[in-house]
Structure 1
Amino acid sequence: MRKRPLLTYFALSYGVTWLCWLPYILSETGVGVLPIRFPEVLGSSQTLGILPGAYLGPVMAAFVVTAVADGRPGLRRWAARLVRWRVAPRWYLGVILAVPVVAVAATFPIPGALADLRTPDISVLLMYVPMLALQCVTTGLAEEPGWRDFAQPRLQARYGPLAGSLILGPLWGAWHLPLFFSEWAGRSGADWTMMVEFIGSAIPLSIVMAWVFNRTNESLPVVMLFHAGVNTVYSLAWAELFPSLDEFGDSLHSLAIGSGVAAVVLLIATRGRLGYEPLAAREPAGAGTR
């Protein structure tokens, strides 16, 4: 762990999460090998089937590797980013507003999307904020203390912000691959083209999230809000806005378009620096950056 903290982190994240997800994937909610079905909690079987493994993988791996590789000082830096709430309000407001606007605009290039656009039911609007909060403490808290809080600083300190994001993006996306063999992927299921597109869209999305992370002085709450916003839009509101489009496949096209355009704009605007300031990096330049 001390010599190869990043490699150990990714191995632990994948190994622990995939092992925990195995019963869910093999159950009736997945490929149907096991004659069991996970009960629905909070309206979905994914709560018990996916969330425990998601928490135990990235978060546990980040905590253990940081403790071994960097000791208490490293744990304090890791935890400090997790509770760095004091960020200019414009960042919170910007994330909350920009994510749904970009998601909707990025759907219009899909054939038939503009004609299909509908006004969402009032219940969707009422549920948006509670769902956003729930996504922050589920998906956001389960993933971002690992991918962005642990891996992002080390990768960009060693390779730079762009190359670091190009490395992190596919690894983050591929971590989700077993879920394609479950009801998580909706009607699309285990379609290899969707898997490739999902991993591909994780690359520009990682670039955008790296910029948010760096420009907010490495504030994990803002990054978690961004991640939660993406999930909330596509899991709650998107299908109501575009009822005739494929809920998983076409929403993935929208995500790829929106994140791709945003990433290109940010790369041009920041000349590839993505708000990263090496002298202000909080991770040690020696041990713990590989």
Structure 2
Amino acid sequence: MTITSPPKPLDSPLRDGIRRRPLTWFFTLAMGLSWLAWTPYILSENGLGIWHYAYPRIGGTTQLLGVLPGAYLGPIASALIVTAATEGRAGLRAWRGRMTKLRVSWRWYLLALVSVPAALTLASAALAERTPVLPPVAVLAAYLPGLILQMVTTGLAEEPGWREFAMPHMQRRYGPLGATLAVGVLWGSWHLPLFLTEWGGGPHVDPVRPLEFLATTLAFNFVMTWVFNRSAESMPLAMLVHVSVNNFLSLAWSDMFPSLGIEDAAHALLLASTTAALIILAATRGRLGLPARPSGKLSS
């Protein structure tokens, strides 16, 4: 008597489609899921005012309840869905390993903690044409806890999708420059509906603001790609670089530059990001830290 193993279940058309076009599915889901979740926030009194409901404020902001759920539902959830569909449990285990890759030289962490505030301080001082004011002790005491909070919120919501999932796939297909440009534009565009809310100064926001934001995101993405590649794709480090910007601007910047307004903060970020991007492009000759592929050799 011959015992035959049961037939393997056939892949569903949906999973098969995701496997054929993982990047298309990731970007579509990342945009669609976030935008769908942000729709009530956009329609609320914190946005267009069509829905007569105001989101509660936590810590002086509505972003935790209005923005964060959609952020979590977009990039990170999409990366997990596509990884599970294309690589299964083994892919998810590898994904978790990259997400917890903390073994990077301490110099990189120092660079992330110091260079980001330093670059923004220099750019802001140039705009203000004056030296910065030392922030209060309370701000300095809150800086590290704020950084940790930003890692759990902004960093964890965005970077596992745009950086950990999208960049390796895109770089293999388009190279570091093409991938950085494409992901930078898509990453920036993902935020655009939020400019209809108080997050982006909406609902009646000057069109220049989202355009400046797109330019800043694109420039800053060159910095993120370089850090990601040079650190052997360390996600904690990439997250730290990203949230260092948010943390410095939200906690320390206004106390250090009381004569500048919120629009000046956006100008300073664009100036610092563009300058850093140009330096990195020139120093790496466009490789952005991606190791060169070894030349192929014929085997005997």
Aligned counterpart in structure 2 of residue 271 of structure 1, from 269, 285, 293: 285
**CA distance in structure 2 between the partners assigned to 1:155 and 1:28 by the alignment:** 38
Partner in structure 1 of residue 113 of structure 2: 96
Partner in structure 2 of residue 167 of structure 1: 182
Aligned counterpart in structure 2 of residue 215 of structure 1, from 230, 233, 250: 230
Question: Which residue type is aligned with residue 192 of structure 2?
Answer: L
If asked which structure has higher relative contact order (CA below 8 Å, sep 6+), I would say: 1
Partner in structure 2 of residue 65 of structure 1: 82
Identical-pair percentage: 49
Taking the TM superposition and a 5 Å limit, the aligned residue runs for 1:49-198 are: 49-110=66-127, 113-115=128-130, 117-186=132-201, 190-198=205-213
Whether the 8 Å contact between 1:183 and 1:189 is mirrored in structure 2 is no
Whether the 8 Å contact between 1:157 and 1:278 is mirrored in structure 2 is no
**CA distance in structure 2 between the partners assigned to 1:201 and 1:56 by the alignment:** 24
Partner in structure 1 of residue 265 of structure 2: 251
Partner in structure 2 of residue 43 of structure 1: 60
SS for the counterpart of 1:176 is helix
Which whole-Å deviations, capped at 9, do the CAs of 1:13-33 have from their partners, x for residues lacking one?
111001111111111111111
**CA distance in structure 2 between the partners assigned to 1:125 and 1:186 by the alignment:** 27
**CA distance in structure 1 between the partners assigned to 2:103 and 2:177 by the alignment:** 26
Partner in structure 2 of residue 206 of structure 1: 221
Residue 277 of structure 1: CA displacement? Answer: 2.0
Which whole-Å deviations, capped at 9, do the CAs of 1:28-71 have from their partners, x for residues lacking one?
11111111111112332110111011001101100011111232
Whether the 8 Å contact between 2:164 and 2:235 is mirrored in structure 1 is yes
**CA distance in structure 2 between the partners assigned to 1:62 and 1:93 by the alignment:** 29
Which whole-Å deviations, capped at 9, do the CAs of 1:202-223 have from their partners, x for residues lacking one?
1111110011011111000000
Listed as ranges, the gaps of 5+ residues in structure 1 are: 281-290
Residue 78 of structure 1: CA displacement? Answer: 2.1
Aligned counterpart in structure 2 of residue 28 of structure 1, from 33, 39, 45: 45
The structure-2 alpha-carbon separation of the partners of 1:178 and 1:187, relative to structure 1 and needing over 3 Å to count, comes to: closer
Q: CA RMSD in A?
A: 1.6
Whether the 8 Å contact between 1:116 and 1:244 is mirrored in structure 2 is no
Which whole-Å deviations, capped at 9, do the CAs of 1:134-173 have from their partners, x for residues lacking one?
0000000000000000001011111111111011001001
Taking the TM superposition and a 5 Å limit, the aligned residue runs for 1:224-235 are: 224-235=239-250
The structure-2 alpha-carbon separation of the partners of 1:10 and 1:187, relative to structure 1 and needing over 3 Å to count, comes to: closer
**CA distance in structure 2 between the partners assigned to 1:206 and 1:239 by the alignment:** 24
The structure-2 alpha-carbon separation of the partners of 1:157 and 1:29, relative to structure 1 and needing over 3 Å to count, comes to: same
Relative to the length of structure 2, the TM-score reads 0.88
| Count of residue correspondences | 277
Whether the 8 Å contact between 1:17 and 1:56 is mirrored in structure 2 is yes
Give the number of the structure whose alpha-carbon radius of gyration is greater: 2
Partner in structure 2 of residue 288 of structure 1: none
**CA distance in structure 2 between the partners assigned to 1:172 and 1:238 by the alignment:** 24
Listed as ranges, the gaps of 5+ residues in structure 2 are: 1-17, 295-300
**CA distance in structure 1 between the partners assigned to 2:204 and 2:268 by the alignment:** 18
**CA distance in structure 1 between the partners assigned to 2:203 and 2:108 by the alignment:** 34
| 4+ runs deviating over 4 angstroms | none
**CA distance in structure 2 between the partners assigned to 1:87 and 1:144 by the alignment:** 17
